[in-house]
């Protein structure tokens, strides 16, 4: 029997990804309702609040005080994540924080400790955990069908050329959270933490395709995983295709290939003579919706977490580990 309780949601930061968060709440009107929104653009805040009869704010501190807000959903630029999450946690609110968890591991670790002390739900909007292909891959790896894992390769790519070409964009500066290693690398590092126990060591090579920004828009990283496998990870903000993620896992008995733009998107090959391979069941080709669906499902899980009193599927401690790998990678950088 479903609980009759509805979680009051306050959303802050009404940019692109916030629409997908909003869609998640719209899919569970019996469990959640948007009671407040906040953005520095007053007109945007009023417009987004109107369909729900929600309160519109331009001051985050005032929104956090709203008595009906139980869950604060933070979709701000990266450099504002730590400050906003800390403020919401200190107010005793549950928090869903867009990735990356923070700009530094020290900030991320502080948020974890604060959430524990306040005894509230805190998690990160790491949609990787809700991508169907990865969920099925987890089962395959648990069954050890690929044998001992020897090599892992990841790719996250798409185009941020328009925003990187805008000097006023926060994506162009390190101090405001720019740089593809922090922005997109956390997805790959979270995946490696989830599947393989995390990254042991890393070396990064970076370059810029777009002239002007102070941060890297392309990166290649290599290293070792804690399970003994080698890994190679590539990130690009200058690929002129729909946003895509690719994962290859190569083991002593077989290989798994996941690519959201391929049909089928997930296929397993068991041995050097298996030319046909096997399509991964339950993973459908949907290049326009795989990312959207994963974000909607992460939002729904967060609401269920609060109502059911259980732990969220995304452990923020794993997201802290991803930030540590970002720091290791940036420290190791050799420009190309």
pLDDT surpassing 60 at residue 198 = yes
Bridge partners of 9, per DSSP, are: 34, 71
* Pair (133, 121) in one structural domain: no
Q: What is the mean pLDDT of the chain?
A: 97
Answer yes or no: is 137 within a domain. yes
**Can you give the CATH number for the domain in which 155 is found?**
3.30.360.10
Mean local confidence (pLDDT), 172-185: 97
- pLDDT value, residue 335: 78
Cα 125 from chain centroid (whole Å): 5
Range of the domain at 249: 129-286+322-335
Whole-angstrom Cα distance, residue 242 to residue 124?
Answer: 24
- pLDDT value, residue 271: 94
What's this model's pTM, rounded to 2 decimal places?
A: 0.96
* Pair (83, 198) in one structural domain: no
pLDDT tens per residue, range 20-47: 999 999 999 999 999 999 999 999 999 9
Answer yes or no: is 133 within a domain. yes
**What is the helix (H) or strand (E) element at residue 267, kind and residue range?**
strand 266-269
**What is the helix (H) or strand (E) element at residue 22, kind and residue range?**
helix 16-26
pLDDT tens per residue, range 81-116: 999 999 999 999 999 999 999 999 999 999 999 999
**Cβ–Cβ < 8 Å for 97, 85:** yes
**What is the helix (H) or strand (E) element at residue 200, kind and residue range?**
strand 199-207
Whole-angstrom Cα distance, residue 16 to residue 2?
Answer: 31
pLDDT tens per residue, range 303-319: 999 999 999 999 999 99
pLDDT tens per residue, range 270-298: 999 999 999 999 999 999 999 999 999 99
Answer yes or no: is 280 within a domain. yes
**Can you give the CATH number for the domain in which 32 is found?**
3.40.50.720
CA separation, residue 36 to residues 149, 150, 254, 312 (Å): 47, 49, 50, 23
pLDDT surpassing 80 at residue 4 = no
Going through 60-148 in order, the beta strands assigned E by DSSP cover 71-74, 94-98, 122-125
* Pair (140, 123) in one structural domain: no
* Pair (122, 260) in one structural domain: no
pLDDT surpassing 70 at residue 2 = no
Answer yes or no: is 1 within a domain. no
* Pair (233, 102) in one structural domain: no
Answer yes or no: is 2 within a domain. no
Question: What percent of the chain stands above pLDDT 90?
Answer: 97
* Pair (31, 101) in one structural domain: yes
Predicted confidence band of residue 70 (pLDDT cuts 50, 70, 90)? very high
* Pair (61, 156) in one structural domain: no
Q: How many domains does the chain have?
A: 2
Q: Which residues contact 139 (CB under 8 A, 6 or more apart)?
A: none
B/e letters for 289-311, b = 16+ CB within 10 Å, e = fewer, are ebbebbbbbbbbbbbbbbbeeee
* Pair (106, 123) in one structural domain: yes
* Pair (188, 275) in one structural domain: yes
Mean local confidence (pLDDT), 261-269: 97
* Pair (105, 203) in one structural domain: no
* Pair (306, 276) in one structural domain: no
* Pair (110, 158) in one structural domain: no
Whole-angstrom Cα distance, residue 322 to residue 316?
Answer: 10
């Amino acid at each position: 029997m479903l609980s009759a309780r509805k979680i009051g949601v306050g959303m802050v930061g009404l940019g692109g990804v916030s629409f997908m968060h909003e869609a998640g709440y719209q899919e569970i009107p019996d469990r959640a309702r948007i009671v407040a929104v906040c953005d520095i653009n007053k007109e945007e805040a009023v417009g987004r609040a109107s369909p729900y009869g929600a309160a519109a704010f331009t001051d985050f501190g005032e929104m956090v005080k709203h008595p009906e807000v139980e869950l604060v959903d933070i979709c701000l630029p990266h450099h504002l994540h730590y400050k906003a999450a800390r403020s919401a946690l200190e107010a005793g609110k549950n928090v869903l924080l867009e990735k990356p968890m923070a700009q530094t591991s020290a900030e991320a670790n502080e948020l974890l400790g604060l959430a524990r002390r306040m005894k509230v739900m805190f998690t990160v909007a790491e949609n990787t955990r809700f991508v169907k292909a990865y969920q099925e891959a987890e089962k395959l790896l648990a069954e050890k069908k690929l044998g001992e894992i020897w090599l892992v390769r990841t790719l996250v790519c798409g185009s941020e050329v328009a925003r990187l070409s805008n000097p006023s964009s926060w994506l162009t500066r390190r101090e405001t959270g720019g740089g593809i290693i922090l922005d997109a690398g956390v997805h790959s590092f979270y995946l490696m933490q989830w599947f393989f126990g995390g990254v042991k060591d890393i070396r990064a090579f970076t370059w810029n395709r777009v002239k002007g920004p102070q941060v890297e828009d392309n990166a290649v990283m290599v290293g070792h995983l804690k399970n003994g496998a080698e890994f190679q990870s590539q990130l690009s903000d200058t690929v002129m295709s729909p946003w895509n993620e690719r994962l290859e896992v190569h083991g002593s008995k077989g290989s798994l290939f996941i690519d959201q733009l391929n049909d089928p998107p997930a296929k397993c090959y068991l041995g050097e003579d298996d030319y046909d391979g096997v399509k991964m069941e339950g993973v459908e080709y949907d290049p326009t919706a795989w990312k959207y669906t994963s974000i909607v499902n992460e939002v729904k899980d967060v609401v269920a977490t609060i109502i059911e009193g259980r732990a969220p599927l995304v452990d923020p401690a794993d997201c802290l580990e991803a930030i540590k790998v970002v720091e290791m990678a940036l420290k190791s950088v050799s420009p190309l």
